[in-house]
Structure 1
Amino acid sequence: MSWKTYQFDELTTEELYDFLKLRVDVFVVEQNCPYPELDGLDQQAIHIAYGENGKTLAYARLVPAGVKYEAPSIGRVIVHPEARNRGLARRLLHQCIDFIQTHWKAEEIQLQGQVYLQQFYESVGFQTVSDIYEEDGIPHVDMKLHSKQLQD
């Protein structure tokens, strides 16, 4: 399977279940963080995923400008535990950035990153734009990628 991009109404029930299960398995169970995973943004988002042998191995959600932030945002960035350390996270972010640049022509892209991944996001070009804050008991920072970095 290759990278696929979906609007919410294009998802099959199997695909939606697989994406939500991965999100809950990682963000709620693995990170021991009970929080409202279903936040009402999925219906307006673009979903990007990569899978092999019927299993989703990488996933992210792109929220259009004006829905969560003024700029389009990347969120729910996940690599399945079995597929980590294969470079999928970096490839996933590049897929997200390429989609936003090509289809939404954004001036900037925003994300809310867990602090332990801050250096990784910086290595892709994001810059930290906030102090560290707690979100659902996990330290986060707000980060942005500006159009200047998008063209590099």
Structure 2
Amino acid sequence: MARPYLTPVPGRGAPTGGLPSHRHDQVALGVDARDPADAAIGFAFGTALLKDVRLHAVHAWRLPTCAAELPFGIPEEDRGAWENHEVQLLADTLRPWRARYPEVRVLEDVVLFAPEHALIRRSASAALVVIGQRAGSVARALLRDSSCPVAVVPW
């Protein structure tokens, strides 16, 4: 497995490879359930297991483009159906990893939010945020604005 690039958080010095003791006890994982980065998911599960902390898997999604064309807004049942689909995508993506790492406590979180904003918010209560390297604009935003160390894992 390729080694992730760990970035220091401004004002906190270089990363040590361990989780800071003054942060909350969780690893946040940014997951694109439509194009999952297996190396990042594996790294996040492995880190959560090693540090005995909860894994908070965040899948951010957006409304389909057809929603903007609706003349009277989005019916609640449509929005609910789209969200249920996203929840199922994340569950399906994480199922084999949960089986491989049954000791890891996982919180699956599906949010209707831009990925970079969802993960920056999550970084405020995480010890580490993990994302795949292909998440270019998300990685840049996290490296700039994260409240905790960020691991960018090569695919």
TM-score w.r.t. the length of structure 1 is 0.33
**Greater strand share, structure number:** 1
Larger C-alpha radius of gyration, 1 or 2?
A: 2
